[in-house]
Structure 1
């Protein structure tokens, strides 16, 4: 397929501003220093003009970048000038309001202007956005070896040090760490360490907390967040925390805030000038403090595990990792398995595992409250298959297609990781006719994939039946990829599905959820950090 020609910016005439030429015209003849400065300024201006007119040949289309700052230099401008940026012009031309758009919606709407594959620059980093299933699959599955690395951008490197599973660079070390982590996590879905009884046990605390509110409106976020985090804690740390534990509550608040501010426009400037990360004010200082506090919390837990480790009876992920570290020391002096790497993996599991499943459950509760007819059908299926008294089990899932389809439809519409985690190309390649240079940042827009009208009929409508066949059984669709695809697919996918199903069914089995009377309809666009969270909302429960 031939690459479409990149759009050419309109020709402009660049004039030297008279205000910069207060000196006499004879300056060049009379003052060599002044003449050199003038020539240097003219060369810089001509270079700027050239950069504004040119993009590397063959790359996907997109707006012309500014030198040094790329396409997001407007964040450096005072507010009254930002309206003149390329982004604001494009958004207004499409009849949209930039202030009300989430990043995922904005990137989807820009595909109307530039096509399903387009590019822009953040500083000198080329970023390519993939907005349809075919381009995402070709990149992440068919060219997986090229597209599976992570960006080496300063903000990510400063926070993660290139370690862990989620943000670590693709290579032998990542493969070793992921293989061990994935096989260990599977133990928590099966056998004596299964999380299923822990999920059911944790729900008893959720139920008790919700019942304290009686018929009064309440915010479900802290209760759901505590419960989901405790399930992760049971798996990783071998313990749960009481909902009133101040240190635990503080850590959960730090996690939510850290994910929310990490895409702050000012923080993105760290990717242009990395030293900005150390500024002693604003979001820079706040993010560093959050990182410090979470580090202290997790490293203390690892230290306690090391001191109390029972070699014959490992209880959780940390125990199993520490035992593997000791085995590796005997056989491989250059092993990547050590306590430092464990810290980053635990951070990934704790932060990513809590935030994503919490938001999925909150979205489920919100959509049930907004769609009482769907909630009634879920209640009917639970009553028929499980009844009112028995706790749900994963073995019930096969007999509950409508409930499963409902969860899938909420996941499709809300996509809690709407832009996936950015990928990076490890070598130069060609994608659907476009040249993609080595080191290009790739954003798979999963939000756009799940709202594509070419795939989903009436994509903005909430309709669980789209996942059911004529016999009322669940249909698996290859275009439904809430956990991503390719080598970087979420390694906790099976655990997340189990946790989401068991907790959702337990909630629906015990309560009917509704919005308070006379409350405004919640904004369904969500709040975007690294994950998509619903805007704050209150619920009223009634016993079934």
Structure 2
């Protein structure tokens, strides 16, 4: 017994010693890195080892903990970052561990950085939590350089071949919408309230699946529905306060419990699904008749091999990450945008009626809206844009990185610094937007009711890393919103209060769960 007790103490002593060594190592790393940084933008003082991790989340946590609500999106990092800008200015510094982060706030600063200094601020950082899952491949998180440019050019050209940005894609979008509308007609007779999320998510995802994977999935497909749910959960987990610690201590990713285990499970399930699709394409490939983006990529690989061209950047491994990017980015952001618009319509029923009146006048009730109607539906377009402004579905964009040390706005930005463009702050910038926290579609219309485009409206980002699927997302958002509002009236269920409007923060900002009463307009 004494021997076991001694061994236990020895084991605990070893663990404690190892922990002390790890802490000392990170303290030295943190100290050595900071002593070489001069003329940085101002910011809150970081703590040893963890830096500012979580510090800017405290104000929002306190508001929630003690029951104080806000009508602004309660995107804890975004609220915290915007509050810090009021203290330190629109360009300020934070540390996550020893990693320097510079946050850009406000329209003018973000446009200056991403449009006037694209050669410096177009790269992507090596963030452990992201790199573990993406291996810095694909389109969204890949480093800026020749490999990324080749793949972005290839993907854009391939998707255009199958209809991206063209009217020829409209039937594909409307096909999914027809299913949504028929399901809503069925469900509204069976249930007093309907959760729109699975129907919208399936319809949106099937558009990118048609372009990239050459197939659609039935709305009752349980495996596909589960995958969409896992994808949304994974995006939330990526910015979970515990998961963020992976960026300080990467080995935490391998812990067999909590969010770390769940994150690995989500990654594994999505990997199995996508690799199965690629394998099926390889087995059924007809090089003379490519069916979708996956086929075109495999054909390019074959052509390079036959020509003796050595280009290791084009591989099935890289294709996997491209498909993952297109599948996730092409589903989550547009789904949440459609859901946000419908949520605002049930909260602001007067605006819903104005949109429907415009649709009745321009389109009528006997044909579905078309992309060719967009120019004649300015209030409808303005309403969609105002919801996008207020919600900023990707509120912090995708992190950028300084590819070299540079001077910006009087400060030194060292090479390797993570750059966070706070798009939410740009869309709430009081120097640009009058009464920025209020819902006013009219702000996008001139005195004659014509649509006004504004430089500080940037829901898809700006610069060289602007969202590749911007045109597709705009098409889907317009057609889905107009078709659904033409066919149905959406209301809150009887006796149910409006849902919170603060949203759920992941890599994207999703509405809090809500259900609606659906009534056919006849």
Does the pair score TM above 0.5?
A: yes
Structure 1 residue 271 and structure 2 residue 255: aligned? no
- How much has 1:88 moved relative to structure 2? 3.8
- Residue from 422, 430, 434 that aligns with 2:407: 430
Aligned alpha-carbon RMSD (Å): 2.8
Aligned residues of 1:53 and 1:64 also touching (Cα < 8 A): no
| 1:287-326 equivalent positions in 2, closer than 5 A | 287-326=263-302
- How much has 1:236 moved relative to structure 2? 1.4
Report the equivalent of 2:97.
123
Report the equivalent of 1:207.
181
For the residues of structure 2 that align with 1:212 and 1:340, how far apart are their CA atoms?
Answer: 42
Aligned residues of 1:391 and 1:506 also touching (Cα < 8 A): yes
For the residues of structure 2 that align with 1:498 and 1:87, how far apart are their CA atoms?
Answer: 35
Aligned residues of 1:51 and 1:67 also touching (Cα < 8 A): no
Unaligned stretches of 5+ in structure 2?
Answer: 1-20
Normalized against structure 2, the TM-score is what? Answer: 0.89
Question: 3-state SS of the aligned residue for 1:149?
Answer: coil
Q: Which moved more, 1:531-540 or 1:334-343?
A: 334-343
Aligned residues of 2:39 and 2:411 also touching (Cα < 8 A): yes
Question: 3-state SS of the aligned residue for 1:480?
Answer: coil
- Residue from 470, 473, 498 that aligns with 1:521: 498
- How much has 1:328 moved relative to structure 2? 2.6
- How much has 1:332 moved relative to structure 2? 2.1
Unaligned stretches of 5+ in structure 1?
Answer: 1-39, 76-84
Q: How many residues align?
A: 491
- Inter-CA distance 393–98: structure 2 relative to 1 (3 Å threshold): closer
- How much has 1:189 moved relative to structure 2? 3.4
- How much has 1:311 moved relative to structure 2? 2.3
Report the equivalent of 2:110.
136
Aligned residues of 1:238 and 1:316 also touching (Cα < 8 A): yes
Aligned residues of 2:397 and 2:422 also touching (Cα < 8 A): yes
Report the equivalent of 1:217.
193
For the residues of structure 2 that align with 1:145 and 1:308, how far apart are their CA atoms?
Answer: 42
- How much has 1:259 moved relative to structure 2? 0.4
- Residue from 268, 282, 297 that aligns with 2:258: 282
- How much has 1:53 moved relative to structure 2? 11
- Residue from 125, 135, 145 that aligns with 1:161: 135
Structure 1 residue 104 and structure 2 residue 78: aligned? yes
Question: 3-state SS of the aligned residue for 1:407?
Answer: helix
Report the equivalent of 1:22.
none
For the residues of structure 1 that align with 2:228 and 2:135, how far apart are their CA atoms?
Answer: 22
| 1:324-363 equivalent positions in 2, closer than 5 A | 324-329=300-305, 330=307, 332-363=309-340
- Inter-CA distance 88–335: structure 2 relative to 1 (3 Å threshold): closer
- How much has 1:49 moved relative to structure 2? 12
Report the equivalent of 1:460.
437
For the residues of structure 2 that align with 1:213 and 1:87, how far apart are their CA atoms?
Answer: 40
For the residues of structure 1 that align with 2:182 and 2:257, how far apart are their CA atoms?
Answer: 41
Structure 1 residue 373 and structure 2 residue 346: aligned? no
Report the equivalent of 1:397.
374
Normalized against structure 1, the TM-score is what? Answer: 0.85
For the residues of structure 1 that align with 2:235 and 2:399, how far apart are their CA atoms?
Answer: 15
Report the equivalent of 1:474.
451
Report the equivalent of 1:175.
149
Aligned residues of 1:102 and 1:526 also touching (Cα < 8 A): no
- How much has 1:327 moved relative to structure 2? 2.3
For the residues of structure 2 that align with 1:134 and 1:57, how far apart are their CA atoms?
Answer: 24
For the residues of structure 2 that align with 1:360 and 1:90, how far apart are their CA atoms?
Answer: 24
CA distances 1:94-126 after superposition (whole Å, capped 9, x unpaired):
x99799652212211221111111111001100
Report the equivalent of 1:78.
none
- How much has 1:51 moved relative to structure 2? 9.0
- How much has 1:58 moved relative to structure 2? 0.8
Report the equivalent of 2:222.
246
For the residues of structure 1 that align with 2:100 and 2:483, how far apart are their CA atoms?
Answer: 46
Aligned residues of 1:513 and 1:542 also touching (Cα < 8 A): yes
For the residues of structure 1 that align with 2:259 and 2:69, how far apart are their CA atoms?
Answer: 22
* Bigger Rg over Cα: 1
- Inter-CA distance 426–54: structure 2 relative to 1 (3 Å threshold): closer
Structure 1 residue 57 and structure 2 residue 34: aligned? no
CA distances 1:423-444 after superposition (whole Å, capped 9, x unpaired):
0111001111111100000100
For the residues of structure 2 that align with 1:417 and 1:256, how far apart are their CA atoms?
Answer: 13
